[in-house]
Each structure stands twice: as C-alpha cells, then as structure tokens.
Amino acid sequence: MVKRDSCLARIGAGVAIGGSVGAAAGVVFGTFEAFRHKIPGALKIRHIGQTTLASAGMFGLFLGVGSILHCGK
C-alpha cells in the first residue's frame, strides 16, 4: 500500500484528475466537432470516443509530469 503523502500517490492522483478532466473536455469537444462536421451515425460515436481518450491521455500525462516536477522540490 502506498502512503498518502508519498510522491507516487501524488503522481497517481495527478494522472487520475488530469484524465477525468481531459475526458470531460474530450466528450464536449468531440461531440461539438462531430455535429459541426456532420459525421454520420456510428462514426459519430467512434469519433467522440477517440477524442475523449486522446484528450484524457494528454491531460493525464501533463498533470502526471507536473506532479513529478513538484515531487522533486
């Protein structure tokens, strides 16, 4: 079990928070983009899913790296 104040716990929390914020932003942006470009039917769901996962991954990565940098202090 990882202690609450350890650097690994902070990195995990940063990745989790970044992933959830990124996923929420990805759903909103992907839905807007799918309707704007008039993507048909099932491809719309696929586009929203890809946008959500990509955004969640990027936000999670950046918040994780930021947490690593703060652990070094």
Write down the domain spans for the chain. Answer: 17-67
- Kindly give the parts of the chain with pLDDT less than 50: none
User: What pLDDT score was predicted for residue 5?
Assistant: 76
Reported pTM: 0.85
User: What pLDDT score was predicted for residue 3?
Assistant: 72
Answer for the pair 22, 59: CB distance below 8 angstroms, yes or no.
Answer: yes
User: What pLDDT score was predicted for residue 2?
Assistant: 63
- Is 53 exposed, middle or buried, given 0-12, 13-18 or 19+ CB atoms closer than 10 A? middle
